[in-house]
Amino acid sequence: MDLSCYPDNPYILLTPGPLSTSKAVKAAMLRDWCTWDLDYNSIVQDLRARLCALACPGQAFTAVLMQGSGTFCVESCVGTLVPRDGALMVLANGAYGQRIGKIANVLGIPLVLEDFGETAPVDPARVEALLARHPEVTHVAVVHCETTTGMLNPIEAIGKAVKDAGRTYIVDAMSSFGGIPIDVDAIGADALISSANKCIQGVPGFGFVLVRREVIEACAGRARSLSLDLYDQWKGMEQGGGKWRFTSPTHVVRAFVAAMDELDAEGGVAKRFERYSTNQRVLVDGMEKLGFKTLLPRKWQSPIITSFISPDHPDYAFKTFYDKLKTKGFVVYPGKVTDAVDTFRIGNIGEVYPADIERLLDAVKESMYWQG
């Protein structure tokens, strides 16, 4: 299809989702699909199998798709997996970990929230000690790439501590799955959550949970919500051959299939990881040359999004800097760190290449108005 007639984006999104998508992904939405017709449902089944194949070899996992943004999926997973007499431990080091704790509170799930601070990774040795002190905890949740800072948590070592203690392990890999190689089985995860509009580079509208079959099979009747019942959603898709219980985001699903095709064409997750890593390296090298400092040391930094410390200058204001960059074709992100330090963030996932980052660096240089 000739896509040149469609307008280009006025700016690229250097944000952690929604992010810049290709024209082919958007063009895939230009036809209508019947939510219960075989044409559409077979697309859903194929997609579920492809997601499982991305995450691990074999048949141990099944993919459940859920309407809504990523948070809906997290809520659906926590609210369905934790039994009525269970308790959840959340290992938090940022806003997204804190949000999982909030979900547990709203759902009335007993919660142990352990805060590691926003600028330190989750420490597996501390997790081991915590679990020994909390025999009542049945499920443990952690965020892989904590998008608040860009921190990458050691999900494999944490998984070992959780599995050695015999607990169920839930990983929010929202902003990393598809962009960083993850073998769900090898890290010991029982459920891994992500969404359409992050590293697989689709448009927003649904998320998915990759869950061990034996875990989801045991979850009938546990959910604290009707529409977010992950078990029922799974059962419906299994029995109905790809049927969603309630109206499916058909166009978004079709766009996501196009995004999966692009991921394959790029060479899979390993190649995408390389591109994102290069983007991030070019970004940090260039920003450091311009005098900016990162919040995190490189060893903890994900190749997804980077927090920069705001310039310590009385004339600097994020909004002015943001507006200048936007007129030059780049949208960056405000900071989310709640500790004393003021930051802004630049994402490098989506339809973004090292050449775009080079252009961004020129734009940043021209936008440093506080330097006179």
Ligand X SMILES: *Cc1c(COP(=O)(O)O)cnc(C)c1O
Report if residue 172 touches ligand X, rule: CB under 6 A. yes
Question: Least distance from C-beta 95 to ligand X, angstroms?
Answer: 8
Alpha-carbon span 115 to 160, nearest angstrom? 19
Report if residue 96 touches ligand X, rule: CB under 6 A. yes
**The two structure tokens encoding residue 258:** 């196009």
Binding map of ligand X across residues 113-152, x = CB under 6 A, - = no contact: ------------------------------x---x-----
Judge if the upstream peptide bond of residue 18 is cis by omega within 30 degrees of 0.
Answer: yes
Question: Least distance from C-beta 57 to ligand X, angstroms?
Answer: 25
State which residue, 112 or 196, has the beta carbon closest to ligand X.
Answer: 196
- Cα separation values, 359 from 93, 132, 294, 328, Å: 32, 51, 20, 9
- Return the residue nearest ligand X (CB atom): 70
Residue 170 · residue 78 · CB < 8 Å: yes
Alpha-carbon span 330 to 340, nearest angstrom? 27
Subset of residues 285 to 324 that bind ligand X, contact rule: CB under 6 A: none
**Count of residues interacting with ligand X (CB under 6 A):** 12
**The two structure tokens encoding residue 298:** 């490189």
Tell me the window of 64-72, 220-228, 266-274, 332-340 that interacts with ligand X (CB under 6 A). 64-72
Q: Binding residue per annotation — 345?
A: yes
State which residue, 87 or 304, has the beta carbon closest to ligand X.
Answer: 304
State which residue, 111 or 364, has the beta carbon closest to ligand X.
Answer: 111
Report if residue 17 touches ligand X, rule: CB under 6 A. yes
Binding site members for substrate = 345
Per CB under 6 A, residues contacting ligand X are: 16-17, 69-71, 96, 143, 147, 172, 174-175, 195
